A = this chain, B = another copy of it.
Amino acid sequence: MIQLNVEEQRIAKKILSIKTESGSHSPSIFSILERVPEVNIKVDACFLSNPYATSLFLRYLKKDLIDTGKLRDVLEFYPSQNRAIAEIISNLINMPKENIFVGNGATEIIQAVMHNFVEKKIVVSIPTFSPFYEFARDDTEMVFYKFRKEKDFLLVADEYIDFVKKVRPDSIVIINPNNPSGSYLTYNELRYILTNLREVKNVILDESFIEFAFEDERYTRLSAMCLFYDFPNLMVIKSMSKDFGIAGIRAGYAVMDKEKVSKLLKNGYLWNSNGLSEYFFKLITRSDFIKEYEDVRKMYIIETHNFFKELAKLPKLKVYPSKANFVLVELLDGSRSIDFVLKLLVKYGVYVRTGNDKIGLEGEFVRISARTKEENQIIIEAIEDLLCSSE
């Protein structure tokens, strides 16, 4: 069982007070570094994005904007309006621009959907990404459907359909792959659920981690966005932060019924993109960029699953199946999740996320994200040492 010594406890106390201020999100490593400088963070395995994609993006940014001096135009002038950015995305995903709503990150879209379309009752599957319940209006009733750890946190389609039919919500949320469990619903399962739940007014599908999932051996890119044509009650939300490693830019979009887009744009969301997010959306329509992106996406998936396999070999842990770029790990030796996280951070400089603030996650869980190959190795060695050195 993992225990903190006196010095570790002192530092841990400072970190915990920052955590309290961050609500149900992990404090950023910058907040920690600023206020607890004695912590030497080597790997941020809390953070969920493809680090290779960040490097690729930065390479293009340098070539296109910094070296040419065009960065000035991007930062000085107003970015294009929502509908103009939607037109860029329309070319990217080959869907009508009238069905695309551009967001200042997916979080803004979740807020817009929760405030404007979700009505009296929503079914949220837990554990989940907290804004799906935190952003609810006061008059929205939240009904939780609980993923069971005995079922590896997988959504069991028929059971879920029965649950929703009984509760009769106006809205449901599915994150695929789910955060924080990484559990994945196949395209066919999703289609089956949608076919059986046509009566639900709003089906919110968050595909923020979909580009890390795969159904074939060639890791073909997945998305259920096209199901929107058959199911107009479907709203698909897409964060760009994870796949492309650009959380600081705030870029996201959603596909939804065109009346819904019009309602949102009627009296708001005019200039919610910024110069760099507009550049980013233009960049990902370029074949030269996407060709290189596909390589780093596949490489990252392969390394991620190698990392998961190495984690699964460690003692005193259960690693749950994941098709995201992170994995949920249960501690089996009686250690508390928070002690594991704090000791790993303070003693080894490896920052992972505790599951103990996630509603619907009972037991001692940590969520660990895959980083670069070298960083994954540091994580493995740190956890191994931590587990072996505890009684």
A137 neighbours in B (Cβ, 8 Å):
267
Flag if A30 contacts B272 (CB, 8 Å): no
Known: A73-B30, A274-B274, A276-B274. Contact between A79 and B248, CB under 8 A?
yes
Q: Nearest Cβ in chain B — how far from A119, in angstroms? A: 15
- Chain B residue at minimal CB-CB distance from A84: B31
> 1/0 per position for A99-124, CB-CB distance to B under 8 A?
00000110110010011000000000
- Chain B residue at minimal CB-CB distance from A48: B78
Which of A128-136, A178-186, A314-322, A326-334 interfaces with chain B? A128-136
Q: How far is the CA of A167 from the CA of B28 in the complex (A)?
A: 49
Interface residues on chain A, size class:
35 or more
Q: How far is the CA of A30 from the CA of B73 in the complex (A)?
A: 9
Flag if B275 contacts A78 (CB, 8 Å): no
Q: How far is the CA of A77 from the CA of B272 in the complex (A)?
A: 19
With an 8 A cutoff between CB atoms, is A81 at the interface? yes
With an 8 A cutoff between CB atoms, is A304 at the interface? no
With an 8 A cutoff between CB atoms, is A221 at the interface? no
Flag if A114 contacts B80 (CB, 8 Å): no
Flag if B114 contacts A77 (CB, 8 Å): no
Flag if B267 contacts A135 (CB, 8 Å): yes
- Considering residues A47, A104, A134, which has the most beta carbons from chain B within 10 angstroms of its beta carbon? A104
Which of A2-10, A51-59, A340-348, A353-361 interfaces with chain B? A51-59
- Chain B residue at minimal CB-CB distance from A133: B267
Flag if B275 contacts A74 (CB, 8 Å): no
- Chain B residue at minimal CB-CB distance from A29: B77
With an 8 A cutoff between CB atoms, is A271 at the interface? yes
Q: Nearest Cβ in chain B — how far from A88, in angstroms? A: 11
A54 neighbours in B (Cβ, 8 Å):
72, 75-76
Q: Nearest Cβ in chain B — how far from A390, in angstroms? A: 31
A108 neighbours in B (Cβ, 8 Å):
104, 272
Flag if A58 contacts B75 (CB, 8 Å): yes
- Chain B residue at minimal CB-CB distance from A115: B268
Known: A111-B269, A272-B104. Contact between A58 and B72, CB under 8 A?
yes
- Chain B residue at minimal CB-CB distance from A280: B75
Q: How far is the CA of A154 from the CA of B80 in the complex (A)?
A: 32
- Chain B residue at minimal CB-CB distance from A55: B72
Q: How far is the CA of A108 from the CA of B23 in the complex (A)?
A: 23
Known: A107-B270, A131-B270. Contact between A28 and B77, CB under 8 A?
yes
Flag if B134 contacts A77 (CB, 8 Å): no
Q: How far is the CA of A284 from the CA of B168 in the complex (A)?
A: 51
- Which of B29, B135, B249 contacts A275 (CB under 8 A)? B249
- Chain B residue at minimal CB-CB distance from A75: B248
> 1/0 per position for A38-62, CB-CB distance to B under 8 A?
0000001001010100100110010
- Which of B22, B134, B138 contacts A81 (CB under 8 A)? B22
- Chain B residue at minimal CB-CB distance from A72: B58
5 chain-A/chain-B pairs, Cβ below 8 angstroms: A31-B80, A107-B270, A111-B269, A250-B272, A250-B274
